[in-house]
Amino acid sequence: MRKAFILLLGLALYTTSCTFDDQVDPNAPSLNSVLNNASLQELNLLVTGTEAAMRNGFGTFVTSSGSVAREFYKFDADPRNTEDLLGKNGTQLDNNTFYLTAPYNTRYRVIKNCNILLEALDNTDQVSAAEKDGYRGFANTVKAHMFLQVLSLLDDNGIRIDVADPENIGPFVSKSQAYTEILALLDLGFSQLSGASFAFTLSAGFAGFDTPSSFGQFNRALSAKTALYAEQWDEVTKVINTTFMDLAGDLGVGPKHVFSNSSGDIQNPLFKAAGQSGDQLVVHDDFIDNGIAGDARLSKFRARIATPSQDDLNGSHETALYETATSSIDIIRNEELILIYAEASMQNGDLDTAVDGINIIRNAAGIGDYMGDVTKEALIDEILFQRSYSLWGEGHRMFDMRRYGRLNDQFLPIDRPGDLIHEEFPIPLTEGQ
From the list 150, 134, 135, the residue with the least C-alpha distance to 182 is 150
Helix, strand, coil percentages (3-state) for the chain, rounded to 5, are 45, 5, 45
**Any idea what DSSP says for residue 279?**
S
Helix (H, G, I), strand (E, B) or coil at 330: strand
Q: How far lies 306's CA from each of 67, 284, 285, 315, 413, in Å? A: 21, 15, 15, 10, 23
Q: What is the CATH number of domain 2-247+329-413?
A: 1.25.40.390
pLDDT tier at 22, thresholds 50, 70, 90: very low
Instruction: Write down the pLDDT at residue 4.
Output: 35
In contact, 212 and 193? CB cutoff 8 Å: yes
Residue 21 has pLDDT above 90, yes or no: no
Portion of the chain with pLDDT greater than 70, in percent: 93
CA-nearest of 122, 337, 132, 123 to 250 is 337
Mean predicted lDDT score pLDDT of the chain: 93
Using CA atoms of 79, 80, 84, 90 in order, give the dihedral in degrees to the nearest 10.
Answer: 30
Instruction: Tell me the mean pLDDT in the region 228-241.
Output: 98
Q: For residue 281, what pLDDT is reported?
A: 97
Which residues are within 8 A (CB) of 371 and not within 5 positions of it... i.e. 6 or more apart? none
> Could you read off the pLDDT of 394-404 as tens digits, one per residue?
999 999 999 99
Q: Does pLDDT of 9 surpass 90?
A: no
| Neighbouring residues of 295: CB distance < 8 A, sequence distance ≥ 6 | 365, 366, 367, 389
* CB of 87 closer than 8 Å to CB of 420: yes
Decide if 300 contacts 321 (C-beta within 8 A). yes
- Please write the tens of the pLDDT for every residue from 324-375: 999 999 999 999 999 999 999 999 999 999 999 999 999 999 999 999 999 9
DSSP strand E in 60-195: where? 72-75, 159-160, 172-173
Asked if 283 and 72 count as a contact pair (C-beta separation under 8 A), the reply is: yes
Q: What is the mean pLDDT of residues 242-254?
A: 98
Confidence of residue 293 (pLDDT cuts 50, 70, 90): very high
Pairing of strands 172-173, 72-75: unpaired
pLDDT recorded at residue 243: 98
Task: Count the Cβ atoms, other than its own, within 10 Å of residue 168.
Answer: 8
pLDDT greater at residue 229 or residue 16: 229
Angle, to 10 degrees, between the axis of helix 58-68 and the axis of helix 98-121? Answer: 140
pLDDT at 110: 98
pLDDT of residue 327: 98
Residue 14 pLDDT exceeds 70: no
**Residues comprising the chain, all counted:** 433
pLDDT in tens, 42-62: 999 999 999 999 999 999 999
Give the pTM.
0.93
* Residue 73 contacts residue 304 (beta carbons within 8 Å): no
b/e per residue 72-97 (b: at least 16 CB within 10 A): bbbbbeeebbbebbbbbeebebbbee
pLDDT digits (tens, 9 = 90+) for 208-221: 999 999 999 999 99
pLDDT for 261-287, tens place per residue? 999 999 999 999 999 888 999 999 999
What is the phi/psi pair of residue 203, to 5°?
A: -70, 175
CB count in 10 Å sphere of residue 247: 11
pLDDT at 1 over 80: no
10 pLDDT higher than 70: no
Percentage, residues of the chain above pLDDT 90? 90
Residues ≥6 apart with Cβ < 8 Å to 422 = 68, 85, 87, 92, 93, 407
8 Å CB contact between 399 and 152: yes
Other Cβ atoms less than 10 A from the Cβ of 355: the count is 20
pLDDT band at 11 (very low <50, low <70, confident <90, very high): very low
Domain edges within the chain:
2-247+329-413
Q: What is the DSSP letter of 297?
A: G
